[in-house]
Amino acid sequence: IPTDFTSGAELWLDEYEDDTIEQQLEEIFDELRPLYQQVHGYVRHRLRQFYGNDVVSEKGPIPMHLLGNMWAQQWSSIADIISPFPDKPLIDVTDEMVAQGYTPLKMFQMGDDFFQSLNLTKVPQDFWDKSILVKPDDGRDLICHASAWDFYLVDDVRIKQCTRVTMNQLFTAHHELGHIQYYLQYQHLPFVYRTGANPGFHEAVGDVLSLSVSTPKHLESIGLLKNYERDEEALIKQLFLTALDKIVFLPFAFTMDKYRWALFRGEVDKKDWNCAFWKLREEYSGIEPPVVRTENDFDAPAKYHVSADVEYLRYLVSYIIQFQFYKSACIKAGQYDPTNPELALDNCDIYGSFEAGQAFKNVLSLGASKPWPDALEAFNGERTMSGKAIAEYFEPLRIWLEEENQKNNVHIGWTTSDKCDS
Ligand code: X8Z
Ligand code: ZN
């Protein structure tokens, strides 16, 4: 393990065990940028219809306070005002969960059941006894940002999540249980190997299950979705909803660490620290702050991971490789066949597939004992990170968006704004 890191950036990047990781991600991001720009253009167009030209310009960055999330990192919470095909149902099973009396406990039990259905390990009793799954009401000062913890003993793994009964929180419960499953699968290894093949692997596991849970097929099977008719329009609407989370997130995740690398490497003068942040957010995501910022503000630490000093590239890597895992798991489960529209990738449910579970076991039980390309190979034979699977997943949406944006004369890309005064 090298100790002569030239900056914190090199220390963080070391975990990816590949000197070309920045370059690789840059290239993958370049491949996906056209799709992001189509989503961005369409959303801006819809927001213009909703709020008018005075609020949203035709060609500028989107004012981020309209996007429904404090950091504009995912935009699905405004899906009701920007989705195509208003007559088609927008899949949000939150109300149904509440109506059926879902509790945080039940949400985690369902997640645990999903892992067991793949023939993976059920969470130990200690997990249920020692986790915090509901926000304590005793006035304790507690960080509510969801997290999963390995106590590096045997079967002592815990989640801390201030769980609310919503569809999104159901996905987060699976995300956190993914970390737990990884801890359990490698707990037999020596301490130095009890970590992910790289940090992105750890973030990807639960999300693969969430992708499956979010399909109409799975939601119907667990009785949360009824009378859903999956025609061409419903399919596009569903893909659009997923893109508001999974595609929109890519430039956000990249900029969180591009920003910190630049600071760590001494590339930004301290007097420009705030505007450098907004410049990156604008360049990569095409968004702007709601009001003019100055160097008297310092906005980046408003994001939990920045204040808590958690590396963020892991999520960019995760959002790319989780589609590689998902696609292969779907094929193994007999749930995806590119030549059969009945077995589409975006409606693949891997629940109950021992084959998919075995692929996970191959990867997770290695921990960090082998370089990550070896771990990936153990899943599906691939050895490189690739944007091909995520592009394939969203291909029908890309085709639809390009046509729709063209038809509506939607501007693609964005001009620069000056919302930060150095
Ligand atoms: O922080 C998380 C997880 C805990 S590892 C809840 N995520 C990122 C975030 O919320 O910013 C999951 C997706 C991105
Ligand atoms: Zn996580």
The pLDDT value given to residue 418? 84
Which one, of 390, 35, 407, lies nearest residue 204 by Cα?
390
Number of H helices, E strands in the chain: 17, 6
Grouping H, G, I as helix, E, B as strand and the rest as coil, residue 274 is helix
Query: Of 177, 203, 255, which is best to mutate to test ligand 1, by the most ligand atoms within 8 angstroms of its C-beta?
Result: 203
Distance CA 207, CA 216 (A): 16
**Ligand 1 atom nearest to CA at 179:** 5
What's the CA-to-centroid distance between 308 and ligand 1, angstroms?
12
327-379, pLDDT tens digit by residue?
999 999 999 999 999 999 999 999 999 999 999 999 999 999 999 999 999 99
Residue of minimum CA distance from atom 8 in ligand 1: 315
Give the atom of ligand 1 at the shortest distance from the alpha carbon of 73. 11
State pLDDT tens for residues 379-417.
999 999 999 999 999 999 999 999 999 999 999 999 999
Pocket test for ligand 1, best of 70, 145, 168, 181 (most atoms within 8 A of CB): 145
- Residue 192 alpha carbon to ligand 2 centre in Å: 20
Ligand nearest to the CA of 311: 1
Contact 111, 174 (CB under 8 A): yes
Distance from residue 206's CA to the centre of ligand 2 (Å) = 8
How far, in Å, from the CA of 174 to the mean position of ligand 1? Answer: 12
The residue nearest atom 7 of ligand 1, judged by CA position, is 315
H or E, element range at 149:
strand 147-150
**Run of H or E including 324:** helix 313-332
**Ligand 2 mean position, distance from CA 209 (Å):** 13
Residue 20's H or E segment, with its range, is none
Instruction: Say which residues have a Cβ less than 8 Å from residue 380's Cβ, sequence separation at least 6.
Output: 324, 325, 328, 359
Q: Given the CA of residue 315, which atom of ligand 1 is nearest to it? A: 14
| Ligand 1 pocket at CB < 6 A | 146-147, 172, 175, 315
Q: Which ligand ends up closest to the CA of 179?
A: 2
Looking at residue 1, its pLDDT comes to: 66
Task: Give me ligand 2 centre to Cα 202, in Å.
Answer: 7
CA distances from 3 to 14, 139, 198 (A): 10, 42, 18
Per the annotation, the verdict on 174 as an active-site residue is: no
Ligand 1 atom 14: residue of nearest CA: 315
Please report where in the chains the tokens 């090199």 appear, as a residue: 10
Query: Is-catalytic flag, 176?
Result: yes
Catalytic one of 40, 45, 176, 282 = 176
Q: Which residues of the chain have pLDDT under 70?
A: 1
